[in-house]
Structure 1
Amino acid sequence: MRAGELPETSSVEHLVEQASDIAIMIGADGTVEGISVNSECPSLGCLDHWIGRDFDSFLTVESRAKFAERRRALEAKPDSAPRSVQLNHVDNAVWEFPIRYTLHRVTGRDSYLLFGRDMQPIADVQQRLVAEQTSRERDQQKIRRNETFFRVVLEASETPLMLVEPETGKITDLNSSAALLFGTKTDTLAGTSLAQALEGRRKSELIDNLQAAASAEDVKAIEVTARRSGRDLVVFPRYFRAAGELVLLCRLTPVDEADGAGPEAAQSLATLFNLASDAIVLTDSKGMIRDANEAFLILTDAAQLRDVVNKPLSDFLARGAVDMKLVLENTKKKGRVRSYATQVLSSVGTRANVDLASTRLSRRGGDLGFGMIIREVVPSDLIDGDASATLMSEEAMKSVMDLVGTASLKSLVSATSDVIEKMCIETAIQMTNNNRVAAAEMLGLSRQSLYVKLRKHGLLGNDADDE
């Protein structure tokens, strides 16, 4: 083409066709006068049937309003830069496709030329993204549902269960039944090393034992001792694979379950320990507190368990080491002490009258220590608790009252002092189970002074035990 010559019509049409995916000439009345579709956009198909028909009939309701608004803006400012507008076309009743147009006013004619870009590929990508996002949300909901299901089933199980990483020995999860056997809570153990919760177990040795037991063809287990509760446990490990990773499912059973204490009984005992109204204390063989329930913390005004653990129980008894020595010696000798009257000191110095019962706890190969139940005694219990003491008091008081009118006040006071002294000595002898050394220590007397007073009140009798 030479300079100054206008391009041929076929050349213009080819240029328009290559410059856009679709080009439409619209007359003043909105009728389609011509249309050109890029051959490289086969998805649009042949649209020659649009010619001679109203352009709005091939638009959705929303797109008709947008097209009319853009025409009015172009008529108001013919020289303004063209702005694109996305219109959604409908054809053949169900076929819908988006086109992004720019409107141009044809010089010398009351017509409009629309150049469009097919947005269907982008729309398809957007639809796939939306579908993918929807699918992801459904998968997330399914994962949350499965996790909730797992949590509920694990927690509702009465069998103590624990999940352990086989390579690191780390506890990934456990239920409350398992935590009770360890003497703690699930939040405390989850995420920690299993070896730290056991007594006398090295991490590498424990991991090797768990892996060996889980890989054995026969059902094998390992015996361990919980560090906090001191309980002997049997661990039954088993491999399973989750998301391509191996996990150890460990079932826990107390060693004493074979003697009749099943999982339900163990869980019930643990619940009783935590919720009992009477104070319960577990000590080692020397009287050091290893565990205590909430009632003991309330009785001693302790804020939390660590305020009393690893402290001697004698620190909380009114007569201190004397009470502790008597209780432990009698428990070792007889296996249990049914009733021992004393007072408990709180952390703020207040005292409470209590009745202490103690028993010896044993296990295979040694002793666990002692278990003690401490019940606070109210004044009514002190009045009605010991019939023999009440009877003795009434008899002694009657003897004193009979002396009124027959003796001077000084003689009456002296007789009353002797009665009280005799009652205190008898009580000390009874509390110490006739251990006169302990009774003398309890009364603040020397051993010789105690024997003098025993002879004075006729309490020696025919008892040959002078210890």
Structure 2
Amino acid sequence: MNIREIGFWIDNADPQVAPDYINQVIATAADIAIVVTNTGEIEMVTINPLTKTMGQLDHWKGRNICEFLAEDSVNRVMSIIEDYRRGKAQIIPAVEVNHFDNANWQFPISYSFHLTGQDGRILMLGRDMRAIAELQQRLVKAQLALERDYEAHRDFETRYRVLMETSQDALVLMSAASGRITDCNQAAARVLGGSAEALVGCNLESEVEANGSDDFIDSLAGASAENIKSGVSVVARRSGRKISIHPTLFRAAGERTFLCRLETETATDGADIEISGGLETLFQKGVDAIVFTDDRGVIRFVNEAFLGLTDIALMSSVKGRPIADFLVRGKIDSNVLLENATRAGRMQLYATQLVGSHGSSRQVEISATRLDDGPQSNFAFILRDASRGDLLRSQDEQDSTHRMNDIVDLVGSSPLKDIVAATTDVIEKICIETAVELTGNNRVAVAEMLGLSRQSLYVKLRKYNLLDKSPKD
């Protein structure tokens, strides 16, 4: 049996389709079929009868196809027609073009080009791409809407964070279903005695001790519904503070949430409020310099008196710098102050020199106090200018003066070598006694201050009978 006799479609042979059905096959195989000459003149336009949105395009016949192409599509179509006319083109991939007619009705079409074998005529079979284009436009619009929503979300998130962290009120967000803390600010973390990161996810009921026997969440819901001004009284387990919780219940994203404002009971006392106001006035207008630092000695706040002592114009030039930058012995002075304040809670009348911004220095007396406020310790320093007053001499200084007078009396009765040796011993003892007093008998700090090893320090302490010297409070 011959293959040509049974094959319906064989290479280099005509398909076995009757001529009467060819037009119907072409019309229904594509949304639009156009026959053009090798100059671009349209000889035939056939619209798929199933695609009613294409309308009637009979007015295209006899006109050049360039008249119905968008400007960016003209070169693509005419270059393909020119390649076919010169015999260069073989198989051309589908090309997307944009059509428009006299009514400025635009629509995208994806064409495939085929030679007909009749005087260079070309058959263009097109598929309507409007549905795909509309879908693409909808996807682009959806993407733009998502980006706008994301930016709006970031905007609200930033505003929320700024409000939470700058608010002086202690605020806690708690899920009404689980009782767990979903968010809290630093003020609330200090009141509860922990860090914000550690508290998020914890059960608020486990962080406090409620006074009543009622369910904790029910108590908050009742206080929120009845708008009780006194709130719910509890005690923070970590910090031991008495707290009043003022809850507000709201619903967001289908979930009920409590916004709890925490107030320490002492904060509502009238006398404490008055004291707080007085302390703030003292900080702003006091004659003594006041400095607040963190546990590493990095400055957080200073008052105007400190800026005046250091000849600095703005607090921003001081904030974030270590207090050691303004002390004549730098880290030695700051370590003595911090270590003694950490150990004993405070240190009184530490004499040193304060270095200004232009290199000038002045004698000051510093008192340091440790502030236990939350999980980390902060420190407060009061600096008093001692350069203009006559400091009272201690008994040790008077004894040293008498010893120096005795040495002066040796002139003429003892060799110079003996006088120098005696003078060296007196000065050395005075320096060691002063360092011991300044550091509260902290031997490590004394050795660092004097530039001695600990072994050499103990030898000299034993030499001058200073080993049993007790630290001063």
> Contact 1:162–1:251 (CA<8 Å) still a contact in 2?
yes
Partner of 1:156: 166
In 1, Cα distance between equivalents of 2:210 and 2:101: 77
Partner of 2:236: 225
Query: Do residues 393 (structure 1) and 404 (structure 2) align?
Result: no
TM-score between the two structures when normalised by the length of structure 2: 0.58
Partner of 1:463: none
- Amino acid paired to 1:393: Q
Pairwise CA distance, 1:121: 1.0
> Contact 2:38–2:81 (CA<8 Å) still a contact in 1?
no
In 2, Cα distance between equivalents of 1:264 and 1:341: 27
In 2, Cα distance between equivalents of 1:29 and 1:263: 97
Q: Are residues 26 and 127 of structure 1, via their aligned partners in 2, closer, same or farther at CA, if it must alter by over 3 Å?
A: same
- Amino acid paired to 1:109: D
In 2, Cα distance between equivalents of 1:397 and 1:5: 132
The counterpart of 1:171, out of the listed 146, 163, 181, is 181
Ranges in structure 2 where 5+ consecutive residues have no aligned partner:
1-7, 9-13, 284-290, 295-299, 303-321, 325-330, 352-364, 373-377, 415-421, 423-432, 441-465
> Contact 1:20–1:38 (CA<8 Å) still a contact in 2?
yes
Pairwise CA distance, 1:72: 3.1
Instruction: Please show how residues 4-403 of structure 1 align to structure 2 within 5 Å.
Output: 10-77=20-87, 80-182=90-192, 185-186=195-196, 188-189=197-198, 191-195=200-204, 198=207, 206-207=216-217, 209-219=219-229, 220-225=231-236, 227-228=238-239, 230-260=240-270, 261=272, 265=276, 272=292, 274=294, 275=300, 316=343, 385-386=391-392, 389=395, 393=398, 397=402
> Contact 2:208–2:235 (CA<8 Å) still a contact in 1?
yes
Task: Tell me the secondary structure at the aligned position of residue 131 of structure 2.
Answer: helix
> Contact 1:213–1:222 (CA<8 Å) still a contact in 2?
no
Pairwise CA distance, 1:13: 1.7
Q: Are residues 138 and 341 of structure 1, via their aligned partners in 2, closer, same or farther at CA, if it must alter by over 3 Å?
A: closer
Pairwise CA distance, 1:240: 1.1
Ranges in structure 1 where 5+ consecutive residues have no aligned partner:
278-293, 317-323, 329-336, 343-353, 362-370, 414-423, 432-441, 446-467
> Contact 1:171–1:190 (CA<8 Å) still a contact in 2?
yes
Query: Cα deviations across residues 203-225 of structure 1 (Å, max 9, x unaligned)?
Result: x9654544443344534323222
> Contact 1:210–1:222 (CA<8 Å) still a contact in 2?
no
RMSD between aligned alpha carbons? 5.4
Query: Cα deviations across residues 309-343 of structure 1 (Å, max 9, x unaligned)?
Result: xxxx8994xxxxxxx7xxx9xxxxxxxx996999x
In 1, Cα distance between equivalents of 2:275 and 2:293: 14
- Amino acid paired to 2:267: E
Pairwise CA distance, 1:125: 0.9
Pairwise CA distance, 1:76: 4.7
In 1, Cα distance between equivalents of 2:215 and 2:55: 74
In 2, Cα distance between equivalents of 1:197 and 1:272: 33
Q: Are residues 27 and 359 of structure 1, via their aligned partners in 2, closer, same or farther at CA, if it must alter by over 3 Å?
A: closer
Pairwise CA distance, 1:359: 11
In 1, Cα distance between equivalents of 2:93 and 2:27: 20
> Percent of aligned positions with the same letter in both sequences?
26
- Amino acid paired to 1:162: V
Task: Tell me the secondary structure at the aligned position of residue 189 of structure 2.
Answer: helix
Query: Cα deviations across residues 217-254 of structure 1 (Å, max 9, x unaligned)?
Result: 534323222614x4332211111111111111011112
Pairwise CA distance, 1:133: 1.0
> Contact 2:34–2:45 (CA<8 Å) still a contact in 1?
yes
In 2, Cα distance between equivalents of 1:338 and 1:77: 101
> Contact 2:92–2:113 (CA<8 Å) still a contact in 1?
yes
In 2, Cα distance between equivalents of 1:257 and 1:80: 89
Number of equivalent positions: 352
Task: Tell me the secondary structure at the aligned position of residue 223 of structure 2.
Answer: helix
> Contact 2:341–2:369 (CA<8 Å) still a contact in 1?
no
